[in-house]
Chains A and B, each alone.
Chain A
Amino acid sequence: MRNFASKALLGATFTAVTMLTLTACDQNPKQEYHISITNITHGQPLSPPVALLHEKTFSFWSIGEQANEALEIMAEGGDGSDLLSLRPDHPQFHSEAPLFPGESIEFTLETRNNSLRSLSLAGMLINTNDGFSGLNGIELVGLKAGQSSVYYAHAYDAGTEFNSELSNTIPGPADGGEGFNAERDDITTVVTLHGGVVSADDNFTGSTLSAADKFDNPTLRIVVTPL
Chain B
Amino acid sequence: MKKILFALALSATSTAPSFAQDLSISFTNLTHGNHFTPLFFSAHTPDQQLFEINTEASASIQAMAEGGDIAGLTADLEALNADITANPAAGVTAPGQTVNFEMNTQDINNHLSMAAMILPTNDGFVGLDSLAIPDEAGTYVYYLNGYDAGTEANDEIVNGGGAPGVAGIPADPLGANGSNASGVTNTENNTNIHIHRGVVGDTSTTGGASDLDSRIHRWLNPVARLVIEVK
Tell me the count of chain A residues lying within 8 A, CB to CB, of chain B: 27
Q: How far is the CA of A65 from the CA of B95 in the complex (A)?
A: 10
Partner of A192, one of B95, B217, B218: B95
* A interface footprint on B92-122 (CB within 8 Å = 1, 0 otherwise): 0011111000000000000000000000000
- B220 touching A188, Cβ below 8 Å: no
**Could you count the A-B residue pairs with CB atoms below 8 Å apart for me: how many are there?**
77
Q: How far is the CA of A206 from the CA of B215 in the complex (A)?
A: 11
- B31 touching A64, Cβ below 8 Å: no
Partner of A191, one of B29, B96, B222: B96
Which of chain B's residues have a CB closer than 8 A to the CB of A192?
Answer: 29-32, 95-96
Residue of B nearest to A216 (CB): B220
Q: How far is the CA of A198 from the CA of B98 in the complex (A)?
A: 27
- B32 touching A159, Cβ below 8 Å: yes
* A interface footprint on B29-44 (CB within 8 Å = 1, 0 otherwise): 1111100000000000
Q: How far is the CA of A198 from the CA of B31 in the complex (A)?
A: 16
Q: How far is the CA of A22 from the CA of B218 in the complex (A)?
A: 52
Whether A203 is near chain B, meaning CB under 8 Å from some CB there, is yes
Q: How far is the CA of A63 from the CA of B29 in the complex (A)?
A: 9
The interface residues of chain B, by DSSP majority, are classed as: loop
Tell me whether A190 and B215 are in contact in the complex, defined as CB-CB below 8 angstroms, given that A195-B32, A196-B220, A217-B222 are known contacts.
Answer: no
Which of chain A's residues have a CB closer than 8 A to the CB of B223?
Answer: 193
Q: Enumerate 17 A-B pairs (CB-CB under 8 Å) in ascending A order.
A: A63-B30, A64-B97, A65-B96, A155-B220, A187-B33, A187-B174, A188-B32, A188-B33, A192-B30, A192-B31, A192-B95, A193-B30, A195-B217, A196-B220, A198-B201, A204-B202, A217-B220
Q: What is the interface of chain B, defined by CB distance below 8 A to chain A?
A: 28-33, 94-98, 174, 176, 201-203, 214-223, 225
* Shortest Cβ-Cβ A-B pairs, 7 listed: A64-B96, A190-B96, A193-B30, A192-B32, A195-B218, A188-B95, A198-B214
Q: What is the interface of chain A, defined by CB distance below 8 A to chain B?
A: 63-65, 154-155, 157, 159, 162-165, 187-188, 190-196, 198, 202-204, 206, 216-217
